[in-house]
Every structure is written in structure tokens, then in C-alpha cells.
Amino acid sequence: MKRINNKKARKRYKPPTMDDVAELAGVARSTVSNAINDTAPVSKEVKERIFKVIEELQYKPNNLARGLRSNRTQLIGLIIPDINNPFYSEISKGIEKYMNQKGFSVVLCNTDYDLAQEKKYLDKLIQVNVDGLIFITGEQDLNLIAEIHEKSNTRIVFTDRSNSFNNDIPIITIDHKKAMKDMTKYLIELGHKNIAYISEPTSMKTLRDRLEGYKEAFRETGISINNSLILIESVLQTNKIKRGYEITSNFLAQSPLIPTAIITTSDLLAIGAIKAIREKGYRVPDDMSVTGFDDIETASYICPGLTTIKQPLSKMGTLSAKVLVELINGNPVEEKQIILEHQLIARESTCRVKQK
């Protein structure tokens, strides 16, 4: 409203209201409402008359008014770190698709892993009166979540990760510890002993779990762990590929011990790592095997195809959405923790260790 002085003001088109429909159909407004929402029986003839008028007028209920009255906006919030990361975009796509089918609209919130942003979005979404929200993040402020959970109309579902399972917010994820254990054992079975581990920050529970899985695999096979091969990022950030490249580059440049395999905690990290490895003159997988995590689409198309852990991303999205809709509809959700199956996908980026 800063400038009203643009002469070409848009002609204010007034869309038809429920009153218009009621009048033209010769019934009361509440009858129209009942006809539309099936909230009370309406005779067949009246119904027909009403829907004819609706068709003629191209009447569309005003969601704002509806929401104000009924406390239901058919809006849900989606808080994710980075929509430009295929891991999140694929989950998001699943969520959006399901929600759209169920008549909800999805408000997208991109945090760039910033805790302050998360808080701001949380506030914003409440103010938008979303019926619920799906939260994918590592660094949640649990107090804040609890407060929201209690003080607003908003239902919450976590996807992929949560820092604690001690509340009753549903979470859809996989068994990260098991997954990484599978991967590590797979490499060990290929004869690898010096296996580097490049991880995003273990401030996130999923990543703590994975590290645990890595270690457990060593323990169970009786191979000793070399801590100098474990590299943990300290800060969450968006440019995963670049970070994978940098970490690996630095590591290879200074480590006295060159591993025969590198495990990373995401496909993007792995893509960066492979580039760094090659630049140092090593071949993948002949000199060094590399593994990713997630199984994003590109993982199977890059060269060499990336050995990785497949997370059912789309399904995770769909399920999260489904659970949230149940919650919104007031249906009880028995299973608070939904743990989906992962799968080790062996491609060309890993091979049996060569004679040393």
C-alpha cells in the first residue's frame, strides 16, 4: 500500500459469496453451507438447485472466512533445511503430493540449517494458522516444540530425525545405526580395514547413530578402529558437495595413513569426495572405494555408480503426510515411531581391496 498513486488501479472484482448463492437458490445461507460441507442433511432438490447456482456463479468458498470460523485452514507447514538438496526435495515432493490429494496446501519453509530461522518459521506458521506441520531438522529447540505442541492448534510430525523420542510427536525415519553398520560390514567383507569415515555433525541424532553403527561393525568383526580416520564436520551447512570435496582433499593431503575406502554420510558428500580423490591421483574404486548415503537419483548415474544406503525418501514423505493428516483429523496414531526399511545398494564405487 505504499503507493496508491498508480493510476491504473486494478478493477476490484468481487467474487460471489455464499450469500449470493443462497439468495439465488432461494435458501438460507446455512443450507448452502450444509450442502457444501455435508454437515447436515439437505434435500435432493434443494441440493441440486444450490449446486446449479454454484456452477453458474463459479462460486468458491472463501478459505479465510472458513478458517476464521472453523479453525481449519487446510494449510500445513513444511520446515526443511534445504529444498535444493535432493534428499529433502524428494521427501518434500512426496509430502506435497499426498497433502494435495487430501485437500491441503503446503507452506514451504527453508531454514538453511539455521536454528534462528526455524524458530521464526515456527512462529510464522502458527500465525498463518496451519493445521499442522512437518519438521525435518536436526537442531530443534525442544522447548519451543513442546510449547507449540501445547499452545497452538498445530499438530507436528518429525521426518528423518529428532533429537529425542521422549515426547509423543510422531517420527518417520529409518534405522540409521543398522544402516551404517550394514555398510561398514559390507566394506570389511570386501577386505577393507582402513576405512575412513566422513560425517556431517553428530549434533544430529541420526548421525550419532550412524557413527555408532560404524564403530559397532568394527567391534563385531574384531578390527581395531583408527580414530584418525574419523572426520566429523562441526557445522551443518548447505553446500554438501563442496564440503565433501574440501574435507577429503585436506584429509588426503595430510593424513599419514591413506585408507582403502571412505564412507560418507551422504551421497552429496561422496560426490565431492570422489572428485577430491581423483584430483589426488587415486582411482575410484581401484585405489579407494567410496560410499554414500540416501540414494538420491544421481547416485546411480554418476560415474562410477555410487554404492549407498537407499532411504525410501518418497515414502517417508508420503507417510509423514499421512500421519499428520490423521492427527489433524483427530484420529489416534498408535505407532509414534515409524521405522522404514533401508537397503544397501552396491554399485561401482566400491570393490574388493587390492593386494597391499
Partner DNA sequence: ATGAAAGCGCTAACAT
Partner DNA sequence: ATGTTAGCGCTTTCAT
Interface residues with a second copy (CB under 8 A) are 1-4, 6, 8-9, 13, 15, 60-65, 67-68, 73-75, 78, 82-84, 86, 89-90, 92-93, 96-97, 100, 105-110, 121, 123-129, 150-153, 241, 245, 271-272, 274-275, 278, 297-298, 301-303, 329-332
DSSP 8-state symbol, 297: G
- Residue pair 274/349 in contact (Cβ under 8 Å)? The answer is yes
Shortest reach from residue 104's CB to DNA, in Å: 15
Shortest reach from residue 122's CB to DNA, in Å: 18
Closest by alpha carbon to 288, among 353, 206, 219, 191? 353
Cell of 268: 552429496
Answer with the entry of DNA, a second copy, none that 151 interacts with (C-beta below 5 to 8 A by kind): a second copy
C-alpha span between 317 and 324 (Å, rounded): 11
Contact between 125 and DNA by CB under 7 A: the answer reads no
**Numbers of helices and strands, H then E, in the chain:** 12, 12
Closest by alpha carbon to 174, among 187, 164, 163, 159? 159
Shortest reach from residue 325's CB to a second copy, in Å: 11
Shortest reach from residue 116's CB to DNA, in Å: 24
Shortest reach from residue 3's CB to DNA, in Å: 15
Closest by alpha carbon to 163, among 144, 182, 180? 144
C-alpha span between 98 and 86 (Å, rounded): 18
Closest by alpha carbon to 348, among 198, 241, 200, 190? 190
Answer with the entry of DNA, a second copy, none that 355 interacts with (C-beta below 5 to 8 A by kind): none
CB closer to DNA, 7 vs 44? 44
CB closer to a second copy, 106 vs 353? 106
Contact between 68 and DNA by CB under 7 A: the answer reads yes
What character string, x for contact with DNA (CB under 7 A) and - otherwise, covers 69-108? xx--------------------------------------
If DSSP codes are grouped into helix, strand and coil, which group holds residue 263?
strand
Q: Which of residues 12-51 bind DNA (CB under 7 A)?
A: 14-15, 17-19, 26-31, 33-34, 36-37, 39-43, 45-47
C-alpha span between 44 and 50 (Å, rounded): 10
In whole angstroms, how far apart are CA 155 and each of 15, 94, 292, 335, 354?
32, 19, 33, 15, 53
Among 23, 57, 66, 314, binds DNA (CB under 7 A): 66
CB closer to a second copy, 163 vs 266? 266
Size of the site for DNA (CB under 7 A): 32
Residue 113: which H helix or E strand, with range?
Answer: none
Q: Which residues bind DNA (CB under 7 A)?
A: 14-15, 17-19, 26-31, 33-34, 36-37, 39-43, 45-47, 59-62, 65-66, 68-70
